[in-house]
Amino acid sequence: MLSACVRDAAAEAVNKVFKMHTCDVRTKVDSETQNETDTKGDASRKAISMLAFDIETEGLDSSTHGITCACAYDPDTGVERTFIFPRGDSREEFMLLLDEASSLCAFNGARFDIPFMARSWGVNITRVARWMLKLVDVYEATRLCIGRGFSLNALLAANGLEGKTGSGLEAVAMAKEGRWDELGAYCMHDTRMTHIVTCMPEIRLPIGRRGAQTGRLFRSPLRVCPY
């Protein structure tokens, strides 16, 4: 088990990262979003509080593998969209949802989803930077500050939530076999559960030995409190 001093240091570090993502940067992004909306005069456009997203790919190499599916979910604004790109769904429409969101959340989105989209689709670096600035990623913040990672399934289990319905390898097989509806349902389930766990008032982190829960992540105020 982590010593008390190490856990306290980790708690403070994670606290700082999450404050960066959800407070200081969000204020900047919200201001920019409001200015853009005012300039465009689009009063019908909804502000998205926190949009969860996830992508599925043909593999791990963005130079040779394509993106097969993407989902976006925000129950507060009624956004629940599944995009199956081999069927002709618009990737630009998906990216516009990311653009318009006040904040984003994803699981390992900082190191996989966003970089993969940037390379695979040739996304403008300024657009990518805006996504990164407003991203809340529990996995990435914990990995950077504590030096350990965990699976989405482990995070969901630690918080008493429903687990994943499949795996990344199974998603690749679904795409190869053209099981698009099944792939879309799998991706949306991951997206929905990522939103639920990220928005919990208290998030238990499965960072101890053998998956023991050694810390609790609070979002209001944002901090990790060792047991």
Domains of the chain, first to last: 4-38+48-208 (3.30.420.10)
Residue with tokens 């429409």: 93
pTM summary value: 0.74
Residue with tokens 């982590």: 2
Contact present, 132 and 110 (Cβ < 8 Å): yes
Is residue 31 pLDDT above 60, yes or no? Answer: no
| Each residue's pLDDT tens digit, 105-124 | 999 999 999 999 999 999 99
